[in-house]
Amino acid sequence: MQTVSLLSFVSVVIVLATSYCDAFTRNDFPEHFLFGAATSAYQWEGAADEDGRTPSVWDTFSHSDERGNGDIACDGYHKYKEDVKLMAEMGLEAFRFSISWTRLIPNGRGPLNPKGLTFYKNLIKELRGHGIEPHVTLYHYDLPQVLEDEYGGWIDRKIIKDFTAFADVCFREFGDDVKLWTTINEANIFAIGAYSEGILPPGHCSTNKLVNCSIGNSSTEPYIAGHNLLLAHASASKLYRLKYKSKQRGSIGFSIYAYGLSPYTNSEDDGIATERAKDFFSGWMLKPLVFGDYPEVMKRILGSRLPVFSEEESKQVKGSSDFVGIIHYTTIYITNSKPTPSLLPSNRDFFTDMGVETIFIGNSSFFTFDTIPWGFESVLEYLKQSYNNPPIYILENGLPLKHDSTLQDSERVEYTQGYIGAMLNAIKNGSDTRGYFLWSVIDLYELLAGYKSSFGLYYVNFSDPGLKRSPKLSASWYTGFLNGTIHVDPPKLSASS
């Protein structure tokens, strides 16, 4: 780390550090707070072409390179009883998972697949039977390939109707036993990764030289997809409120990926760049949801490339999220990038539009993260102060480590302690955070890393035909924390240096 970044880093820590006091336990959290862990359908279930499931864009994308795929994954489709049992033994209070659209509705719209329906009903029943609260994500990167082929998926407004019909089936069939729904998983990173950078399914881009951009338009599609994601969420939310909420009494939220963002230097330019980055990364989705329109800075920079909400759409989007789901892993520095006036709008993408450079802190990279609890606390403070203190669920947080058989994942335990402590600080200072899900329950097929690195509390031996699960140190640590016997020291300043 360079001197200049160290200086700004120290000043940030001093501002953010509250008076960390004594050790805490699970019992220091509000009574109805939920602690759990998460998976998603394509990463956990396997059985990709069994019992009537058809391919999603993620199946297609993962089969186009050598990083592995979710054909078998953890075989959760067949092993769900075993996995729910180990969740119960771990003491999980909640489980976050997603519903595979093409397992439930193989043609994207129309007839249901009875075997898919039975699988999710059985899974939910098994969870309830063990006293575990289900938190269901409707869309986690796995659009039916048939809808992508038919009209381009999320870049066409036809998706709004099809997504709402899929949501309707889920509310109707599962809503008596599911009280927590997230419509869209990390919508901002999905739109950026899938339509600006081409690194996530369905892999559209036009500017990223590192991947083969054979289809897409990085200067327009991320914003079109983002707009349709918001409208699809709002439409599903409206339906839930009209048709189901009074009877089922659940809540429905949208989710975004939130980096901690901190200026690289204390220059005015880097300060302004960091505010702009907050607007591009988070405000893009949260300002419409909370205030009914996009951030001014995005409208100014993007001009006609940013879709416009009609008055009616704005009203429908505003207030459509009962809570904000947050996916948070790490904190990055932001520095202003030099203006590139020669870059035509048609050659821009999300990052050149945002006009900042992002710098990982310490040893962090796309595949490893340093433990930076103060960055997490600052995200929760920012959400509280800038968006009227919305109810929040932390839907993912966790540490990736090389996937191997080392069960002594003490770095993961240290990371988790720091982040849970940071969250407690934010709650004590007024944040309305209501739940926390570790990513992930067991080692999964990972979005970027395939099977090379993993986040599980349980190790999965992917070379073993039986895909044996074995608890890591982090699993027994979590159990002890959740049963109140493990006391945790609050995060210290040195934990982030």
Which listed residue (126, 381, 396, 446) is catalytic? 396
186 is catalytic: yes
The only residue of 107, 118, 212, 410 in contact with ligand NAG, by rule CB under 6 A:
212
Sequence-ordered list of residues with C-beta below 8 angstroms from that of 357, at least 6 positions apart, any chain:
334, 335, 336, 337
What residues numbered 409-468 form the site for ligand NAG, per CB under 6 A? 429-430, 461, 463-464
Does position 214 interact with ligand NAG (CB under 6 A)? The reply is yes
CA angle centred on 22, ends 19 and 28, rounded to 5°: 100
If the CB atoms of residues 337 and 479 are measured against ligand NAG, the closer one turns out to be 479
Does position 352 interact with ligand NAG (CB under 6 A)? The reply is no
For 436: left if phi > 0, alpha if psi spans -120 to 50, otherwise beta; the answer is beta
Helix (H, G, I), strand (E, B) or coil at 222: helix
Chain centre to alpha carbon of residue 146:
25
Region of 38-46, 107-115, 241-249, 478-486 interacting with ligand NAG (CB under 6 A): 478-486
Q: How far is the CB of 47 from ligand NAG (least distance, A)?
A: 20
If the CB atoms of residues 342 and 463 are measured against ligand NAG, the closer one turns out to be 463
Task: State the SS3 of 245-300.
Answer: HHHHCCEEEEEEECCEEEECCCCHHHHHHHHHHHHHHHHHHHHHHHHCCCCHHHHH
Which listed residue (126, 186, 221, 313) is catalytic? 186
446 is catalytic: no
Nearest to 394 by CA among 92, 96, 13: 96
Site string for ligand NAG, 387-406 (x = CB under 6 A): ------------------x-
If the CB atoms of residues 297 and 473 are measured against ligand NAG, the closer one turns out to be 473
Strands 392-396 and 251-257: unpaired
The letter for the amino acid at 427 is: I
Exposed/middle/buried for 145, CB within 10 Å: 0-12, 13-18, 19+?
buried
Does position 381 interact with ligand NAG (CB under 6 A)? The reply is yes
The only residue of 483, 487, 489, 492 in contact with ligand NAG, by rule CB under 6 A:
483
| Cβ-contact 458, 441 below 8 angstroms | yes
If the CB atoms of residues 107 and 429 are measured against ligand NAG, the closer one turns out to be 429
If the CB atoms of residues 291 and 360 are measured against ligand NAG, the closer one turns out to be 360
Does position 385 interact with ligand NAG (CB under 6 A)? The reply is yes
Interface residues with ligand NAG (CB under 6 A) are 16, 18, 206, 212, 214, 217, 219-220, 346, 362-363, 370, 381, 385, 405, 429-430, 461, 463-464, 476, 479-480, 483, 485
Active site residues: 186, 396
